[in-house]
Amino acid sequence: MCINSSSIPRSLLSSAFCHPRLSKRQNLRVGRLSRRRRLLKEAKEKKSMGLVKAEMEIKNLKLYMENRSIIEENEKLRQKALMLHQENQTLLLQLQKKFSQEKQQQHH
């Protein structure tokens, strides 16, 4: 029950009469409830962080596997390029021998 008086500031009235102080027992209940709410909130945040961490680990594993696949494919391509280079060098050498033999035959 609030007293409405023009001589007393409204802020004093509302704090003194509209919100009676809690008893020690009620204060203890409120404290327990606040603690419980805080603990539940912290547990929920930890669970959420755990899910985020698990999702990050899964993404990391997928990226790792994709990276390994790319590295393996790169190695295969590197070996194929080396083989083609060697084949190219062999063909070039054969071609040079053929032209040098033809030149020698033309001079004789």
76 found inside a domain: yes
Q: What does the pLDDT look like over 48-96, one tens digit per residue?
A: 888 888 999 999 999 999 999 999 999 999 999 999 999 999 999 999 9
Dist CA 60 CA 82 (whole Å): 33
Number of domains in the chain: 1
Q: Is 4 a domain residue? A: no
Does the reported pTM lie above 0.95? no
Domain housing 37: 10-107
13 and 2 in contact (C-beta within 8 Å)?
A: yes
